[in-house]
Structure 1
Amino acid sequence: MLVSFVCYAFNLTLSTWVGGIGMRYRLYSRLGLPGSTITRIFSLSITTNWLGYILLGGIIFTFGIVQLPDHWYVDEGTLRILGIVLLLIIAVYMWFCAFAKRRYMTIKGQKLVLPSWKFALAQMAISSANWMAMGAIIWLLMGQNVNYFFVLGVLLVSSIAGVIVHIPAGIGVLEAVFLALLAGEHTSQGTIIAALLAYRVLYYFIPLLLALVCYLVLEGRAKKLRAKK
């Protein structure tokens, strides 16, 4: 759990390659886990995170909760189609988890096991709760002046935009998307920026500081284990 927290905090701020991959391999290998096990842990983490996104994005985009500006390359109709596609992905994933006879696949020599449908539901529940908590933090910081599900939808749009431009922590992307999509709401730009800055402190900066402390503790334990050997 401690390693997962450290890696997640670094992943949020420093990108997947540093926190999601590099940090996991460093810390888990020091605990004696083989590379194949570390790969499965990483795959499970990534899959769980995006399952929640796909589920929530599918629902919110399909029902047209997010209104996009007219000058954007993607219109609301395209966003609805994307939402339907996301829900179909969830349905296909659940079908395979429930009924597939072959429960594993091999990718580049790594064996990936298909979970049960109950485990898949747990994945989506945990990840969805995390994404909804992120949206709730921003919604509360904005003074609850905007519909919560609209704020959550904007967060989902900004998150995928951050992945596309590949900027660590989505710096600037999150703010730009929120300012663009909330322009028609009864919320000032100052309120939006202040809320997002506070959100970054609560969800990025403070966890990163705690993760740094935990990382030093883990490194200290690893040195002691090596000294005993």
Structure 2
Amino acid sequence: MSRPDAQSAAPAGHPRTSRWSRWKKPLTVLFFLALIVLFTLLARRIEWNEVFDTLADFKVRTLVIASLLTLSSFLVYACFDLIGRTYIRQDLTWRQILPVGVISYAFNLNLSAWVGGIAMRYRLYSRLGVSKGNIAKILGLSLATNWFGYMVIAGAVFSSALVTMPPGWKLSSAALQAVGVLLLLISAGYLAACRFSRRREWAIRGVEINLPSVRMAVLQLALGALNWSLMAAVIFTLLPSKLDYPLVLGVLLISAIAGVITHIPAGLGVLEAVFVALLQHEASRGSLVAGLLAYRAIYFILPLLITLVMYLLVEAKAKALRIEKKPS
């Protein structure tokens, strides 16, 4: 059953629509101004000499380990699309799939989901002969894999009280545990639906959605959780050694939600603000910021530069093929 789109549900002249259109822009501006003030106050409280000294003291071995963990994370994320290949039942090789997943992930992290997750996948998969409907299915499955994996790992970490919220925060540690239990229940509900639901197909805005098998769903949750765990492992490698891995993982999971809410590409500034706020009683602000700057360089910027070259090579190869096919 098709779901009406937003325009049919709320016409352009609808009072609620026009009222929201009037307030949306000023509220967005105020929100970003508040973020600028927050980040400015944070920057003024950082001992930048300590940040630079910490960055200069990083050992090559530490940077190599962080880079290998980053590579592992990107390959795991690219495997989301391998699940998608099975899901749409299209004859594509892993050598065709993995580059698409890696390139899309790097652009997604740095330039937003619209550029990397959606536009880049559509362009690259279209070159492989995948229909728009099947590309949409791969996108949906990848999104589900990422966030159901998040729910599993976040539910386990939050419900087990591995992260303690600082005094005075609106969200208490007990509330965070309750959130964790809720996330685990949602994940279990997804698995139950994949196993027991009699209805397996839906049509949403013209795109057919099929529930995967329970085995595929379990693989989704496992790969999604593994990717979040590897991201945390990269940060853990670069932060002060006295911090425990479960704590770093929990703070990363909290910062991810803050990044989604703000819609800032790469969560720029949000990640740092959350880590400093939650861990400043465990380590100095300077050492935390230094580790996070190194994390951004290794997990965000370096992969973007590498995948940009990969993408240009793909485009050059496609252009050469078009020239060869032109009639003489």
Residues 13-56 of structure 1 deviation map (CA, whole Å, 9 limit, x = unaligned): 11111111111112212222211011011111111111111101
Q: Which residue matches 1:109?
A: 206
The whole-number CA distance in structure 2 between the counterparts of 1:72 and 1:143 is: 24
Q: CA deviation at 1:77?
A: 2.1
The question of 1:33 aligning with 2:140 is answered: no
The whole-number CA distance in structure 2 between the counterparts of 1:130 and 1:14 is: 19
SS in 2 for 1:145: coil
Q: How does 1:56-205 map to 2 (within 5 A)?
A: 56-185=153-282, 187-205=283-301
The TM-score, its normalising length taken from structure 1, stands at 0.95
SS in 1 for 2:124: helix
- Structure 2 unaligned runs (5+)? 1-97
- Structure 1 unaligned runs (5+)? none
Q: CA deviation at 1:10?
A: 0.3
* Counterpart contact for 1:11–1:18, Cα < 8 Å: yes
The whole-number CA distance in structure 2 between the counterparts of 1:109 and 1:54 is: 28
Q: CA deviation at 1:65?
A: 1.4
The whole-number CA distance in structure 1 between the counterparts of 2:300 and 2:274 is: 18
Residues 140-174 of structure 1 deviation map (CA, whole Å, 9 limit, x = unaligned): 11143111101000000001100101101011000
* Counterpart contact for 1:31–1:222, Cα < 8 Å: no
Q: Which residue matches 1:4?
A: 101
The TM-score, its normalising length taken from structure 2, stands at 0.67
Alignment size in residue pairs: 228
SS in 2 for 1:106: strand
SS in 1 for 2:169: coil
* Counterpart contact for 2:103–2:311, Cα < 8 Å: yes
Task: Kindly report the root-mean-square deviation, in angstroms, between the aligned alpha carbons of the 2 structures.
Answer: 1.2
Structure 1 segments of 4 or more deviating over 3 A? none
Question: What letter is aligned with 1:3?
Answer: V
The whole-number CA distance in structure 1 between the counterparts of 2:215 and 2:230 is: 22
Q: In the alignment, which of 211, 215, 224 is matched to residue 307 of structure 2?
A: 211
Q: CA deviation at 1:200?
A: 0.8
Q: CA deviation at 1:108?
A: 0.7
Q: Larger Rg: 1 or 2?
A: 2
The whole-number CA distance in structure 1 between the counterparts of 2:300 and 2:264 is: 14
SS in 1 for 2:203: strand
The whole-number CA distance in structure 1 between the counterparts of 2:185 and 2:202 is: 21
Q: CA deviation at 1:219?
A: 0.8
- How many percent of aligned residue pairs carry the same amino acid? 50
